[in-house]
């Protein structure tokens, strides 16, 4: 039988078959996996699998179909290993907030470039816009302008106000969408609005401000009432970069990728090389300074090859 993985706890998997029947499944013996990625988790949310029923509700997974795509992060347990967050994704959304808590643009940019690297379309949701004060108004407008300009649609919302969610609902229809965001940005609140009978637990600000919570929680997929699915990933604090070399990094910033072929040197890292098209565009105000600063910070964090 064929099924789709909705949840993984590491040893058990929750699968839905074509009739929407739910199975509790596990792996036994050797698993056949399409493709060649090695990761700490052999099966991820979003995987299409074949399975053999053991009884009315339990099953054994025999085979994982080849993935259209997947998105990984550094394994929380081992920095040198990949952990697949989810697979077969149509859209990746970062849920960000200007305050309570403030999401750094560094986090957003790391997320966006990871989506680029894995060829997954991405968009930015700015939640808690009801809390935007005069002090963050400029930053709010800059985020909207900056991300829209480089090709990422921006959706400002108030998760608790259904009327603000209409454009986002239209976007999500009939897609499998991955939600990423720091703990406390309102992902569960948003998902509760999108799927009225789901009743996910939300966390009061006073509770999540303590460190060390949500360290080992797992991604879970949910069906949307009007078609489509969303994948909730609790507690992603940091997006580790995997397998990206310094020379490649600018390819994953669309505004740089588009211009870098006119740099004088073809191995230009866009630092201070003569004839650098990126630096020139930066001086003309065509590339956002914050995006460039984040590029530099991420570049510094990538170890040199030798």
Ligand X SMILES: Nc1nc2c(ncn2[C@@H]2O[C@H](COP(=O)(O)OP(=O)(O)O)[C@@H](O)[C@H]2O)c(=O)[nH]1
Choose which of 87, 127, 176, 294 interacts with ligand X (CB under 6 A). Answer: 127
C-beta atoms surrounding 155 within 10 Å: 18
Task: Indicate whether 281 belongs to the interface with Zn ion (CB under 5 A).
Answer: no
Task: Indicate whether 188 belongs to the interface with Mg ion (CB under 5 A).
Answer: yes
Task: Indicate whether 160 belongs to the interface with ligand X (CB under 6 A).
Answer: yes
Tell me the closest approach of the beta carbon of residue 190 to ligand X, in angstroms. Answer: 7
Q: If contact means CB under 5 to 8 A according to the sort of partner, which of Zn ion, ligand X, Mg ion, none does residue 156 touch?
A: none
Question: Near Mg ion by CB under 5 A, which window of 89-97, 182-190, 254-262, 283-291?
Answer: 182-190
Task: Indicate whether 158 belongs to the interface with ligand X (CB under 6 A).
Answer: yes
Tell me the closest approach of the beta carbon of residue 250 to Zn ion, in angstroms. Answer: 8
Size of the site for Zn ion (CB under 5 A): 5
* Locus of tokens 């505004």: 255
Task: Indicate whether 287 belongs to the interface with Zn ion (CB under 5 A).
Answer: no
Rounded CA-CA distance 291/173 in Å is 30
Tell me the closest approach of the beta carbon of residue 64 to ligand X, in angstroms. Answer: 29
Distances in Å between the Cα of 28 and the Cα atoms of 12, 31, 34, 61, 157 are 11, 7, 17, 7, 44
Contact call for residues 241 and 302 (beta carbons, < 8 A) = yes
Would you give the DSSP letter of residue 102? Answer: P
Rounded CA-CA distance 24/60 in Å is 9
Residues 229-268, one symbol each (x = binds Zn ion by CB under 5 A, - = not), give: ----------------------------------x----x
Task: Indicate whether 159 belongs to the interface with ligand X (CB under 6 A).
Answer: yes
Q: Is beta strand 58-64 parallel, antiparallel or unpaired with respect to 13-17?
A: unpaired
Choose which of 59, 64, 71, 278 interacts with Zn ion (CB under 5 A). Answer: 278
Task: Indicate whether 270 belongs to the interface with Zn ion (CB under 5 A).
Answer: yes
Q: Give Cβ neighbours of residue 244 (< 8 Å, ≥ 6 apart).
A: 113, 117, 252, 302
Distance, first Cα to last Cα, the chain? 48
Tell me the closest approach of the beta carbon of residue 221 to Mg ion, in angstroms. Answer: 15
Q: Is 63 exposed, middle or buried, given 0-12, 13-18 or 19+ CB atoms closer than 10 A?
A: middle
| Site for ligand X, rule CB under 6 A | 127-128, 130-131, 158-160, 181, 183-189, 202-205
| Site for Mg ion, rule CB under 5 A | 187-188
């Amino acid at each position: 039988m064929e099924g789709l993985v909705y949840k993984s706890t590491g040893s058990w998997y929750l699968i839905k078959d074509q009739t929407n029947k739910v199975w509790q499944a596990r792996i036994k013996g050797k698993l056949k996996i399409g493709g060649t990625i090695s990761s700490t988790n052999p099966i991820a949310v979003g995987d299409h699998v074949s399975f053999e029923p053991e009884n009315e509700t339990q099953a054994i997974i025999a085979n994982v179909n080849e993935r259209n795509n997947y998105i990984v992060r550094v394994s929380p347990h081992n920095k040198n290993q990949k952990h697949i967050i989810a697979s077969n994704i149509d859209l990746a959304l970062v849920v960000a907030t200007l305050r309570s808590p403030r999401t750094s643009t560094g986090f957003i940019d790391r997320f966006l470039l990871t989506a680029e690297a894995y060829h997954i379309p991405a968009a930015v949701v700015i939640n808690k816009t009801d809390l935007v004060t005069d002090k963050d108004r400029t930053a709010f407008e800059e985020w909207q302008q900056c991300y829209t300009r480089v090709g990422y649609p921006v959706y400002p919302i108030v998760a608790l106000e259904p009327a603000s969610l209409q454009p986002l609902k239209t976007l999500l229809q009939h897609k499998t969408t991955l939600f990423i965001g720091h703990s406390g940005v309102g992902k569960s609140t948003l998902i509760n609005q999108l799927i009225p009978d789901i009743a996910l637990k939300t966390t009061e600000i006073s509770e999540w401000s303590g460190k060390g919570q949500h360290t080992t929680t797992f991604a879970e997929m949910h069906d949307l009432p009007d078609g489509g699915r969303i994948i909730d990933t609790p507690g992603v604090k940091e997006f580790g970069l995997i397998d990206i070399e310094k020379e490649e990094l600018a390819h994953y910033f669309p505004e740089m990728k588009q211009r870098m072929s006119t740099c004088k040197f073809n191995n230009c890292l866009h630092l201070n090389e003569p004839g650098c098209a990126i630096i020139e565009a930066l001086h003309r105000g065509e590339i956002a300074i914050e995006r460039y600063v984040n590029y530099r910070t991420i570049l510094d964090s990538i170890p040199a090859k030798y």
